[in-house]
Amino acid sequence: MSDFKNLKIEEEKGILHITIDREDKLNALNLATIEEFRVVFNEIYDNKQIKAVLLTGAGEKAFAAGADISEIAELNELNARKFAENGQEVFQLIENCPKPVIALVNGFALGGGCELAMSCHMRVASANAKFGQPEVNLGVIPGYGGTQRLTQLIGKGKALELMMTGDMIGAEEAKSLRLVNHVSPTKEEAKVKTLEILGKIMSKAPLAVSMVIDCVNAVYLSEEDGYQMEANGFARCCKSEDFKEGTTAFLEKRKPEFKGE
Ligand code: COA
């Protein structure tokens, strides 16, 4: 396995444990982390020893609190489209992984963090998990597939509510909306539940499991254009004054004043 700076990688009994390891930044997904995900998932596809993946964030506070806002703040219309397409591509690699991938969601899963969890095949949360797509607070929209996958998972009305208000929801509400498969009281118990599910899947025929993943993903293939529209919309927002104001306000730790420009 390659060496990684932002991901901690451990293999145990055929299960690869991937931990996003930027705890001081609430495991925010900078571009280097996204690239490490690309490398590790390419290796997972090819490595016969790895049968399943558990993906989580370091510490108790966050799974991942979003894409790294200090990087997003620098985007313009042109590179913003590439930024979104690049993240979409890596998250599709995760979604299409032929081996089971479960997100163990501890604490905040916001923006790109929620999008990352949604690109996994299932989500098991600890009771302190919080989900949301707060990009509107920054003057932008989800760009890593969130407009598509949140709608697929919880339906149009509630997906629109979460993305238009930027509200966060807790683990139990996320479960009632079917965003989350299971909730456990603590991270440790959520890990036990995740390993139990992965263990069960690993006792089945691997080809059949990978075909289930392919066929279920195929339900949404006709929606491919939605991802392109998302990347375009993300880029369009990154050209606006409100986007500059939203990201600057976050970094300056103040409330944004949007002007509609
Ligand atoms: N990108 C970059 N840095 C981030 C980040 C992100 N998405 N989310 C948190 N951080 C950083 C903070 O800037 C802070 O860094 P500092 O200690 O160097 O100042 C550190 O992580 C801790 O975060 P802080 O905001 O102090 O923690 P909190 O408990 O007060 O608030 C959140 C937690 C999750 C509510 C808050 O961090 C937040 O709103 N994050 C952004 C969420 C978001 O908009 N995500 C979508 C991005 S597209």
Instruction: Report pLDDT digits (tens) over 1-11.
Output: 778 999 999 99
224 and 143 part of one domain:
no
| Residue 46 confidence (pLDDT) | 95
pLDDT digits 0-9 by tens, 109-160: 999 999 999 999 999 999 999 999 999 999 999 999 999 999 999 999 999 9
217 and 180 part of one domain:
no
236 and 140 part of one domain:
no
257 is a domain residue: no
94 and 138 part of one domain:
yes
Token pair for 174: 């996320």
Q: How many Å lie between the centroid of ligand 1 and the Cα of residue 64?
A: 10
Q: How many Å lie between the centroid of ligand 1 and the Cα of residue 241?
A: 22
Q: Hey, is 168 helix, strand or coil?
A: strand
- Ligand 1: atom nearest CA of 133 is 46
| Residue 77 confidence (pLDDT) | 87
Q: Hey, is 50 helix, strand or coil?
A: coil
Residue that is written with structure tokens 């998990």 in the block: 129
54 and 37 part of one domain:
yes
256 is a domain residue: no
129 is a domain residue: yes
72 is a domain residue: yes
Domains of the chain: total:
2
| Residue 252 confidence (pLDDT) | 96
- Ligand 1: atom nearest CA of 26 is 21
Rounded mean pLDDT of 211-215?
95
The pick from 21, 25, 75 for probing ligand 1's pocket by mutation, whose C-beta has the most ligand atoms within 8 angstroms, reads 25
Whole-prediction pTM: 0.96
* Cβ 226 vs Cβ 153: under 8 Å: no
Closest CA to 106 of 20, 213, 9, 216: 20
Catalytically active residues, by annotation? 115, 135
Segments forming the whole domain that contains residue 137:
7-202
174 and 188 part of one domain:
yes
23 and 83 part of one domain:
yes
186 and 213 part of one domain:
no
Token pair for 121: 């095949």
Confidence of residue 78 (pLDDT cuts 50, 70, 90): confident
What is the C-alpha to C-alpha distance for residues 71 and 211, in angstroms, rounded to an integer? 37
What is the C-alpha to C-alpha distance for residues 51 and 251, in angstroms, rounded to an integer? 40
260 is a domain residue: no
DSSP H stretches of helix in the chain: 31-46, 69-72, 77-95, 112-119, 146-154, 156-165, 171-176, 187-202, 206-218, 224-238, 241-251
1 is a domain residue: no
What is the C-alpha to C-alpha distance for residues 83 and 87, in angstroms, rounded to an integer? 6
145 is a domain residue: yes
Tell me the residue type at 56.
T
pLDDT over 90 at 19, yes or no: yes
